[in-house]
Structure 1
């Protein structure tokens, strides 16, 4: 399993995703600096992320269902701390 965490928000995101979805592979990248000067940018960082996740939990689900599962797992972080999350979610073998 591959994981990437750069700070407390990313660490909490990974903790919640691992707990809820038991991924076989997960990679979370903090892209915040690429968005400096744009809407939602937070000078403290950890506001924009890219997530690449593979989980058996996604088998037989649509792209929208997968995104909803991820947003549910992240809960209040998506409402209060994370401005943008680019998602690539797949089941094993996809």
Structure 2
């Protein structure tokens, strides 16, 4: 899974997380809106990093989106985030 590696690499580089899980949930949305048939349209990320300690919830989400950048964000339909 190429996109999983790209997501993982981007987040590791940006935040040096102590815990990172990148979970492809596309199979749960097969045939639904946003399913582009790639098998890489819906993702869940669980990340824990000291860098998030002083950030609000919104700032954390924005930081993750910025770290992934448009090259990744434009290729996925849905991104669920659990940030600690």
Q: TM-score interval w.r.t. the shorter chain? A: over 0.9
Detail structure 1 runs of 4+ shifted over 3 Å in the superposition: none
Match of 1:87 in 2: 81
Report the TM-score, using the length of structure 2 for normalisation. Answer: 0.95
Query: Mind listing any 5+ residue stretches in structure 2 that lack a counterpart?
Result: none
Give runs of aligned pairs for residues 1-94 of structure 1, distance below 5 A. Answer: 7-76=1-70, 77-78=72-73, 80-90=74-84
Q: Determine which structure has the larger helix proportion and give its number.
A: 2
Between the two proteins, the alignment pairs up a number of residues equal to: 83
For the aligned residue pairs, the C-alpha RMSD in angstroms reads 0.7
Query: Mind listing any 5+ residue stretches in structure 1 that lack a counterpart?
Result: 1-6
CA deviation after TM superposition for structure 1 residue 37, in Å: 1.4
CA distance in structure 1 between the partners assigned to 2:23 and 2:36 by the alignment: 16
Report the TM-score, using the length of structure 1 for normalisation. Answer: 0.85
